[in-house]
């Protein structure tokens, strides 16, 4: 596409690097910004710059935070003896939005994946183990992706913990609410029969 302007071309190129945004959408966004007040673009760019330069990660659980400790680790309202191990900060937000969990979190930053060159040393497993030794956790919940990598990571960590006192669980796998049994894949359906729960 011929943009007639290097400024537009640069802006379109940078915006279309974002996931799910092609050059047509990027051009639409650029022309939208040009129609708005200059201040609205400056507010946007300032928010992004500040975000990227000032963001911190909680030094305890590695969740995104504005300061050294995230609001969850700081809170005394949270159940201090349960810890939920997740892959990334998005997972924490997703679980928080369910309002079904009141314990602590630990963000691994990924899962062990030899195929993609992610080894246990690349993840925040050491800090998790330190926390497990330091605090008297009663339960560790693995909320990792239901994939080979997720399972491997959960297995690896549970072996490392070596503490029979700590109950280790995984979030339930089964048929998602609202889906239809006939279209559910065999593994999920098989597991959901095997790990059936009591009708309450």
Q: Is the dihedral of CA 147, 103, 166, 68 positive or negative?
A: positive
Per CB under 8 A, which of residues 140..179 are in contact with a copy of itself?
none
Among all chains, which residue has been given the structure tokens 């700590």? 166
Question: Looking at 28-36, 77-85, 175-183, 192-200, which segment touches a copy of itself (CB under 8 A)?
Answer: 28-36
CA distance 93 to 11: 30
Question: Looking at 16-24, 118-126, 142-150, 185-193, which segment touches a copy of itself (CB under 8 A)?
Answer: 16-24
CA distance 174 to 179: 11
CA distance 30 to 15: 8
CA distance 8 to 2: 10
Question: Looking at 63-71, 112-120, 134-142, 162-170, which segment touches a copy of itself (CB under 8 A)?
Answer: 63-71
Question: For residues 51 and 193, which CB has a smaller minimum distance to a copy of itself in the complex?
Answer: 51
Q: Which of 62, 63, 87, 107 binds a copy of itself (CB under 8 A)?
A: 63
Question: Looking at 59-67, 113-121, 155-163, 171-179, which segment touches a copy of itself (CB under 8 A)?
Answer: 59-67
DSSP symbol at 83 = E
Contacts of 128 (CB under 8 A, 6+ apart): 83, 85, 106, 108, 157
Query: 113 has which bridge partners?
Result: 118
Question: For residues 56 and 169, which CB has a smaller minimum distance to a copy of itself in the complex?
Answer: 56
Q: Which of 23, 78, 80, 96 binds a copy of itself (CB under 8 A)?
A: 96
Question: For residues 97 and 200, which CB has a smaller minimum distance to a copy of itself in the complex?
Answer: 97
Q: Which of 22, 68, 79, 93 binds a copy of itself (CB under 8 A)?
A: 93
Within 10 Å of residue 58's Cβ, how many Cβ atoms?
23
Which stretches of the chain bind a copy of itself, using CB under 8 A? 1-8, 10-11, 13-15, 17-21, 25, 27-34, 38, 40-55, 63-66, 70-72, 88-90, 92-93, 96-97
């Amino acid at each position: 596409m011929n943009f007639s302007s290097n400024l537009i071309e640069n802006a379109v190129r940078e915006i279309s690097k974002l996931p799910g945004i092609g050059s047509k959408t990027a051009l639409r966004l650029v022309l939208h910004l040009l129609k708005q007040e200059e201040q609205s673009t400056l507010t946007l760019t300032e928010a992004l710059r500040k975000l990227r330069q000032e963001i911190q990660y909680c030094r305890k659980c590695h969740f995104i935070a504005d300061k050294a400790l995230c609001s969850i680790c700081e809170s005394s309202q949270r159940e201090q003896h349960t810890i939920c191990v997740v892959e990334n900060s998005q997972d924490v937000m997703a679980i928080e939005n369910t309002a079904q969990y009141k314990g602590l979190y630990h963000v691994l930053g990924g899962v062990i994946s030899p195929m993609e060159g992610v080894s246990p040393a690349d993840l925040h497993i050491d800090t998790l183990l330190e926390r497990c030794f330091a605090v008297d956790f009663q339960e560790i919940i693995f909320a990792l992706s239901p994939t080979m990598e997720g399972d491997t990571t959960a297995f690896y960590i549970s072996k490392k913990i070596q503490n029979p006192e700590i109950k280790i669980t995984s979030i339930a796998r089964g048929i998602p609410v609202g889906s239809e049994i006939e279209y559910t894949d065999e593994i999920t359906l098989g597991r959901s029969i095997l790990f059936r729960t009591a009708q309450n």
